[in-house]
Amino acid sequence: MRVLITGGAGFVGSHVADLLVGRGHDVVLLDNLLPQAHGSGQVPEWTRELVRGDVRDAEVLSRVLRGVDVVCHQAAVVGHGVDPSDAPEYASHNDFGTAVLLAAMHRAAVRRLVLASSMVVYGEGRYECAEHGVVRPAARRQADIDAGRFEPGCPRCSSPLVSRLVPEDAPFDPRSTYAATKAAQEYLASAWARQTGGQVWALRYHNIYGPRMPRDTPYAGVASLFRSCLERGEAPTVLEDGAQRRDFVHVTDVAVANALAVQTAAEPGALVPVNVCSGTPHTVGDMATELSRACAGPPPRVIGGARPTDVRHIVADPSAARALLGFTARVPFSVGVREFATAPLRLPVA
């Protein structure tokens, strides 16, 4: 098949490109090399033949979509960002860009899309109260966070909650600008599928780490931030108490999930969401500690506090990806972190 990968020079996109080419597909890469992820503005050395252009440019899209069977849409501004002043840029690249892409796909009669979505659409994870069952937790109060009380309570009785795996039918509750734009991407793609009979896999990535991550940028993931600290000889800084649970999934596993989605037909006229995760949760403190050991660096500093958009626990149910795509993550956490300690990262972002 001929596959267009938007964001094809990026962290995930470049690994997807490598895997698809290795499986015999004809791959077209589109990337505008945003400075948030590509500090130098130069094409990374691991990038295959690239069309440098913007996903918001309908003329460029009309050229690169010729003969394409499937679009793998990775292009996006990611991460927490700096502050709400980032909102126009997030909405422009992520949502307007997706709308322009979907319109171009309609004109080119391309009816299959693999969308890079995110677990951030869920907000807080899934929680259960001993008395009231599955509940949406009460918002965490700043006074509690300042006092070191990080666990959310039941909104009805304030009792402690137990964190559970999040299934794909969990309600949306985006807590950041980035999260809101990822939810909007899914809504746009779902509407497009209904209108055109198109097929959409929405891959809800959990915490991805691995080679080629961008470094030294507020848009990077927590594993990259820890690695950057260790390279400077500094201890990784861990917010809260380090016990917040996440699902860290290696980028090569994420590439496999994309390849399976490219090769597997989805339900026509619908968006089908799947969690892309390891299925084995770890804490943020686990990541900092394991990476410090692997880098022979100082142990993490746990400093308390939290960012306004942080959630306490978000861990995924992997069963839908296994049932629908045949996807099961293969890279164990310990192996992946050891490799990540010396893996190549992107150049620092100025």
- Residue 91 CA to residue 309 CA, distance in Å, equals 17
| Beta carbons within 10 angstroms of residue 87's beta carbon | 15
Q: What pLDDT digit, counting tens, does each position of 74-128 carry?
A: 999 988 777 889 999 999 999 999 999 999 999 999 999 999 999 999 999 999 9
Give tens-digit pLDDT for 178-208. Answer: 999 999 999 999 999 999 999 999 999 999 9
Q: Which residue has the higher pLDDT, 221 or 257?
A: 257
Q: Write the CB contacts of 94 (distance below 8 Å, at least 6 apart in sequence).
A: 76, 77, 178, 181, 182, 184, 185
User: Which of 32, 311, 293, 347 is closest to 152 using CA atoms?
Assistant: 311
Question: Which residues are 3's β-sheet partners?
Answer: 27, 70
Are 127 and 170 spatial neighbours (Cβ–Cβ below 8 Å)? no
Name, in order, each residue with C-beta under 8 angstroms of 115's C-beta and a sequence gap of 6 or more. 73, 98, 185, 186, 189, 200, 201, 202, 203, 271
- In whole angstroms, give the CA distance from residue 72 to residue 112: 9
Predicted local distance difference test score (pLDDT) of residue 348? 60
pLDDT at 84: 87
Alpha carbons 10 and 6: distance in angstroms, whole number: 9
What average pLDDT does range 55-84 have in this prediction?
94
Torsion angle defined by CA atoms of residues 31, 114, 287 and 217, in that order, rounded to the nearest 10 degrees: 20
144-153, pLDDT tens digit by residue? 999 999 999 9
The rounded mean pLDDT for the chain is: 94
pLDDT computed for residue 307 by the predictor: 81
Query: Which candidate, 288, 286, 284, 290, places its Cα nearest to that of 335?
Result: 290
% of the chain with per-residue pLDDT over 90: 84
Q: Give the number of C-alpha atoms closer than 13 A to the C-alpha of residue 113, restricted to the C-beta side.
A: 40
pLDDT at 48: 83
Within 13 A of 26's CA, how many CA atoms are on the CB side? 8
Structure tokens at 276: 């892309």
